[in-house]
Amino acid sequence: MSSFNLGDAALLALLADDVSCGDLTTEALGIGQKGGQIAFRARREMVVCGSEEAVRLFALVGCRSRLYVPSGTRVEAGTLLLDGEGTAGALHHAWKTAQVLMEWASGLASAAADIVLAVTATGRRIPVACTRKNVPGAKALSVKAVRAGGATMHRLGLSESLLVFAEHRLFLDEAPKETIRRLRGAEPEKKIVVEVASVDEARVWALAGADVLQLEKFPAPRVAECRAVLDGLKVPGATPLLAAAGGIRADNVAELVAAGADMIVTSAPYAAPPADVSVSLETLKA
């Protein structure tokens, strides 16, 4: 479950983007000062994310808002997520921004949770990690949604992790052991992850001392072959972890877990459809 919320500066920027020069319809109708109340409910089962931000959006425009379901909670259809009261102008100001934020984040969280659930159903508890392929500009909310779904982040960006791709190795003219030695000396606290495209490459980089081998688009039989090869090696220190990556979804992850993957790396939740949050508005009687 996520433990952080988007700050007011980010939320105010979202509001400003949607209502940059006032709400033309509400103002033209002359209804801005009439009292109203709003409620958000889950239209279908989902894992909630962004409810804290939605409540805060309404508060920022002057509404009284109440949170009923925190991020990271799986709910059934019809569950009341939040409600609020305020003027029609304020309610319309925040309504769509809050709804879209919650729907998008909850869709991502639900997709991540489905993959975690599929892994757990195998009887093995191995990590599900999401890549940095989030929608540009939406990293913070993406991270919150990934964690709300019970997954973790594979890497937040290029600055805090070592992941050696073939595209890096194109520029090297040295033995794999020397590459690992230099990386270990330069960043002794970091795990060294190497992406490989074949079982032979996995063997080479395992013997070189990589901490994690990222198996890019390995089908389950090839993951199993890699597992068997590595388990048979006499690797100094610990055998590297096998991270299955590429094209992984809730409907195919179990076979990769059964084949011997130690962790799952996926981008699939970022392409998930938004969840469906129903919104009801009512007038307040004077």
Residues 25-47 have pLDDT tens digits of 999 999 999 999 999 999 999 99
Q: Which CATH code fits 8-109+273-283?
A: 3.90.1170.20
Question: DSSP letters along 54-115, please?
Answer: HHHHHHHTT-EEEE-S-TT-EE-TT-EEEEEEEEHHHHHHHHHHHHHHHHHHHHHHHHHHHH
Q: Token match 């996995």: residue?
A: 202
Residue pLDDT, tens place only, 84-100: 999 999 999 999 999 99
Neighbours of 56 (CB within 10 A): 19
Quote the pLDDT of residue 172: 96
Q: How many residues does the chain have?
A: 286
> What CA–CA distance (Å, rounded) separates 108 from 88?
30
Q: Which CATH superfamily is domain 118-271 in?
A: Aldolase class I (3.20.20.70)
Separation of alpha carbons 112 and 6, rounded Å? 20
Regions in the chain scoring below 70 on pLDDT:
1-3, 235-237, 286
Choose among 250, 285, 277, 286: nearest CA to 83: 277
Residue-level pLDDT at 1: 47
Q: Residue 249's pLDDT is what?
A: 94
* Segments making up each domain of the chain, as ranges: 8-109+273-283, 118-271
Provide φ and ψ at 140, rounded to 5°: -60, -45
